[in-house]
Amino acid sequence: MSLETGIDAKLFRSVLGHFCSGITVLTACIDGKPVGMTCQSFFSVSVNPPMVAFCVGRGSSTFPVLRTADGLVINVLDAEQRHLSAGFARSGTDKWQGVQWEPGEAGGHPVLNGALAALECTIAAEVDAGDHILVLVEVRRLSARQEGTPLLYFRGEYHTASPHKPMVELAAACFLDELEELQENL
């Protein structure tokens, strides 16, 4: 229970779990050694300059190491990379065992093979945000694959987006179905 608001922490997490989010892995190389962590709180901030942000818990043992690097990569995970999300969320294990990656062009930090997108960034600011830290980063380089499906997190479980048709196609299909039904009833 939050002393300031009277809102139950378990209820707060449950309600916010109704907001579907993508999954990212933050990566960097420090003294030639890769480090990384899973992060689901990631969002766009500004186009000019290109900025995004993410939040990390104050209790993270990895972020204090990541922030010492001269940059980092935000890897947006594909639905096929659930194992990476789980692996990079653990503490005290070799998170990099079997993980394939390439050094990014903007600073040599790990770009995970198979990621849907990669944003190579530098930290611009950190903001105190209760039991988390809001981290604003400037994007230096970015890339994305055209194929693939995002890994999503909703109500405490992993999900994938189902293939969908653009709204124009859906509207046209509905119109054609209604037209066909009208013709049958004539």
Single pTM value for the model: 0.83
From CA 113, how far away is CA 100, in angstroms rounded?
Answer: 6
Topology of domain 9-185, per CATH?
Pnp Oxidase; Chain A (2.30.110)
- The pLDDT, as a whole number, for residue 176 is 62
Single-letter amino acid code for the residue at 144 = A
pLDDT in tens, 71-127: 999 999 999 999 999 999 998 788 999 999 999 999 999 999 999 999 999 999 999
Residue 37's closest CA among 71, 76, 6, 66? 66
The residue-averaged pLDDT of 165-182 equals 62
Mean confidence (pLDDT) of the chain: 89
Residue type, 84: L
Between 41 and 181, where is the model more confident? 41
pLDDT at 58: 94
What pLDDT, on a 0 to 100 scale, did the predictor assign at position 7?
87
Q: pLDDT tier at 3 (50, 70, 90 boundaries)?
A: low
Q: What is the pLDDT at residue 142? A: 95
Strands 21-22 and 117-129: unpaired
Q: Answer yes or no: is pLDDT of 10 > 80.
A: yes
Do residues 61 and 91 lie in contact, with contact meaning Cβ atoms separated by under 8 Å? yes
